[in-house]
């Protein structure tokens, strides 16, 4: 997961795109260290000390991790749980709706 | 006996009964039909097979007769169905001698048939009881062979693979054992065993269908509603049949969840109706994990109304991992991947 996400954030850095996480780790210090160590280049809300039982995942009725929503520029939910190549395709489509033509290709990178 | 005009037409022709007299029991009023219908609904008894043919009924004076089949016999009246399908209730003491004898025979037969039915039900239950020993010996044999598998197997996957045919074979034996008494408690235990032990294919389908068919009201099936829910048609059947509050509540919630998972806008109205039913009637019912349905249904309701494809995402107001406050809506105007993640 991490390499794909890192690669997306990097490739689409000059496009109207953002990857926003909702992190459900209980230990804030620990996840901060992980972010640094694994070079996770996206911003995340913290779901609080209750971890997966935290308020954001509860409101969003998340019962499995990871859960992914893809929103268009108007904040409308357009895709759910599109991952990997499906996510790339979805983003290509939504960005093209905004007049941005993108080609997403990922370099091989070992998971860390 | 010659078929004469029906009393109804006769009434009109000769103006009988005269209006100043009390209404004869031969005439039929709306409330009589209603009462009769109510009575039949509450206490109706099916007519014995020999009485299904139409016969001519005649009143005590011999003046009126009508072709009809008997629908139900009460203490002092009889409900007849006329050739045109309408019902008519007639007091027994208004009938001819022959008709009263017929009614008496009918009553005798009816009582005998009811007694036979009761006896058959009791026998079925008894037969179910009688099967308990046999059931136990099949299960003992299964346990013994399963134990042998565990002893001889090298790893968990191998044991699992070898166990499956044993489960199927045992399920077949058990289902055959209770085939004739599908409504007995022993049969229920068999169906539950088959489902719980992970039987597949025909055996699993047979057991699930029988549970839904005969035990939709049995709280014992609660832990298995999740398995039943894999088959949407079965879940729908269970949901509509169940009267037990817990079974009905859990089945209703699961049906809503199942239907909502497709994220199909055409189903949204139905899903919302089911969820509102759970919230208003079954909020305090708990699922097999002992979680009350109310809050779960509220959350799903929110999800269906706000988190389906095509809805504007609810805002998130929170803090990032460095404690800096921000909102999801800060990113309007951008395509956003919202990723619920954790490093585990």
Looking at per-residue pLDDT, the higher value among B161 and B252 belongs to B252
Q: What is the pLDDT of residues B72-131, one digit of tens each?
A: 888 899 999 888 888 889 999 999 999 999 999 999 988 998 888 888 777 767 777 788
Residue B223 pLDDT: 86
Q: What is the pLDDT of residues B317-341, one digit of tens each?
A: 999 999 999 999 999 999 999 999 9
Confirm whether B137 is domain-assigned.
yes
Residue where a domain terminates, one of B102, B127, B152: B127
- CATH number, residue B43: 2.30.30.700
Residue where a domain terminates, one of B162, B183, B215: B215
Separation of alpha carbons A24 and A3, rounded Å:
19
Q: Do both B149 and B90 map to the same domain?
A: no
Q: How far is B291 from chain A, CA to nearest CA, in Å? A: 14
Residue B261 pLDDT: 86
Residue B14 has pLDDT above 80, yes or no: no
Please name each of the domains of chain A with its CATH number: 2-97 (3.40.30.10)
Kindly list the distances between the CA atom of residue A39 and the CA atoms of A12, A43, B154, B162, in Å, as whole numbers in the listed order: 17, 12, 42, 46
Q: Which residues of B touch A9 (CB under 8 A)?
A: none
> Which pairing describes strands B65-73 and B55-58: parallel, antiparallel, or unpaired?
antiparallel
Q: Do both B170 and B61 map to the same domain?
A: no
CB pair distance less than 8 Å for B299 and A21: no
Q: Which residues of B touch A32 (CB under 8 A)?
A: 321-322
Residue where a domain terminates, one of B155, B186, B215: B215
Confirm whether B335 is domain-assigned.
no
Q: What is the pLDDT of residues A46-71, one digit of tens each?
A: 999 999 999 999 999 898 999 999 99
Confirm whether B326 is domain-assigned.
no
Residue B283 has pLDDT above 60, yes or no: yes
Q: Do both B67 and B139 map to the same domain?
A: no
Confirm whether B77 is domain-assigned.
yes
Q: What is the pLDDT of residues B169-205, one digit of tens each?
A: 999 999 999 998 888 889 999 999 999 998 999 999 9
Residue B233 has pLDDT above 70, yes or no: yes
Q: Do both B144 and B194 map to the same domain?
A: yes
For B1-155, where are the alpha helices, taking DSSP H only? 7-14, 30-43, 97-130, 132-152
Q: Do both B100 and B167 map to the same domain?
A: no
Residue B51 pLDDT: 57
Residue B173 pLDDT: 96
Separation of alpha carbons A105 and B141, rounded Å:
59
Count of CB atoms situated within 10 Å of the CB of B249: 26
Of B312, B334, B339, the CB nearest to A66: B339
Separation of alpha carbons B192 and B214, rounded Å:
12
Confirm whether B343 is domain-assigned.
no
Of A21, A31, A72, the CB nearest to B335: A72
Residue B92 pLDDT: 92
Q: Do both B43 and B86 map to the same domain?
A: yes
Residue B49 has pLDDT above 80, yes or no: no
Look up the ipTM and state it: 0.95
> B185-196 and B201-215 are packed helices; what angle lies between their axes, rounded to 10 degrees?
140
Residue from A46, A40, A2 nearest A27 by CA: A46
Q: Do both B123 and B11 map to the same domain?
A: yes
Of A5, A46, A70, the CB nearest to B318: A46
Q: Which residues of B touch A74 (CB under 8 A)?
A: 312, 332
CB pair distance less than 8 Å for B338 and A68: yes
CB pair distance less than 8 Å for A69 and B320: no
Q: Do both B140 and B173 map to the same domain?
A: yes
The owner of tokens 């007694």 is: B115
Q: Which two tokens stand for residue A88?
A: 């790339």
Q: Do both B306 and B227 map to the same domain?
A: yes
Residue B20 pLDDT: 42
Q: Do both B182 and B159 map to the same domain?
A: yes
Residue from B335, B329, B340 nearest A90 by CA: B335
Could you tell me the residue range of the domain that residue B262 belongs to? 219-314
Residue from B185, B145, B150 nearest B166 by CA: B145
CB pair distance less than 8 Å for A19 and B336: yes
Q: What is the mean pLDDT of chain B?
A: 84
Q: Which residues of A touch B329 (CB under 8 A)?
A: 75
Residue B38 has pLDDT above 70, yes or no: no
Name the domain count of chain B. 3
* Stretch B61-65: mean pLDDT: 86
Q: Do both B36 and B112 map to the same domain?
A: yes
Q: What is the pLDDT of residues B95-107, one digit of tens each?
A: 999 999 999 999 9
Residue A22 pLDDT: 97
Confirm whether B330 is domain-assigned.
no
Q: HSE, CB side, 13 Å, CA atoms: give it for residue B41.
A: 6
Q: Do both B252 and B185 map to the same domain?
A: no
């Amino acid at each position: 997961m991490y390499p794909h996400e890192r690669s997306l954030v990097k490739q689409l850095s000059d496009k109207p795109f953002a990857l926003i996480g909702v992190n459900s780790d209980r230990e804030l210090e620990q996840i901060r260290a992980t972010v640094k160590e694994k070079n996770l280049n996206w911003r995340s809300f913290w779901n609080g000390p209750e971890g997966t039982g935290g308020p954001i995942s509860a409101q969003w009725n998340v019962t499995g991790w990871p859960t992914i929503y893809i929103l268009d520029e108007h904040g409308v939910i357009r895709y759910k749980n599109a991952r990997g190549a499906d996510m790339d395709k979805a983003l290509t489509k939504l960005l093209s709706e905004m007049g941005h033509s993108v080609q997403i290709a990922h370099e091989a990178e070992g998971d860390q | 006996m010659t078929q004469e005009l029906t009393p109804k037409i006769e009434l009109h022709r000769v103006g009988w009964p005269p209006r100043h007299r009390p209404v004869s029991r031969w005439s039929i009023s709306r409330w009589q039909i209603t009462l009769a219908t109510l009575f039949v609904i509450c206490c109706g008894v099916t007519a014995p097979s020999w009485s299904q043919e139409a016969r001519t009924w005649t009143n005590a004076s011999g003046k009126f007769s009508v072709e009809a089949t008997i629908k139900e016999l009460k203490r002092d009246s009889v409900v007849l169905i006329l050739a045109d399908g309408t019902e008519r209730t007639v007091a027994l003491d208004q009938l001819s001698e022959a008709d009263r004898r017929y009614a008496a025979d009918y009553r005798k037969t009816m009582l005998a048939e009811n007694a036979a039915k009761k006896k058959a039900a009791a026998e079925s239950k008894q037969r179910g009881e009688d099967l308990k020993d046999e059931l136990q010996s099949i299960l003992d044999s299964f346990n013994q062979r399963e134990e042998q598998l565990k002893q001889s197997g090298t790893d968990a996957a191998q044991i699992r693979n070898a166990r499956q045919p044993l489960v199927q074979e045992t399920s077949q034996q058990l289902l055959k054992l209770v085939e004739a008494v599908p409504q007995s408690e022993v049969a229920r235990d068999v169906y539950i065993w088959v489902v719980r032990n992970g039987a597949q294919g025909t055996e699993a389908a047979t057991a699930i269908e029988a549970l839904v068919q005969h035990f939709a009201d049995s709280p014992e099936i609660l832990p298995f509603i999740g398995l039943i829910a894999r088959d949407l048609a079965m879940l729908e059947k269970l949901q509509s049949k169940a009267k037990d509050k817990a079974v009905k509540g859990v089945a209703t919630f699961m049906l809503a969840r199942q239907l909502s998972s497709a994220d199909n806008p055409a189903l949204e109205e139905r899903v919302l109706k089911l969820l509102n039913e759970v919230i208003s009637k079954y909020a305090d019912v708990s699922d097999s994990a002992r979680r009350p349905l109310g809050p779960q249904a509220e959350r799903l309701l929110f999800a269906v109304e706000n988190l389906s494809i095509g809805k504007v995402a609810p805002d998130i107001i929170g803090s990032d991992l460095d404690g800096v406050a921000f909102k999801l809506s800060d990113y309007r105007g951008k395509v956003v991947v919202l990723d619920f993640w954790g490093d585990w």
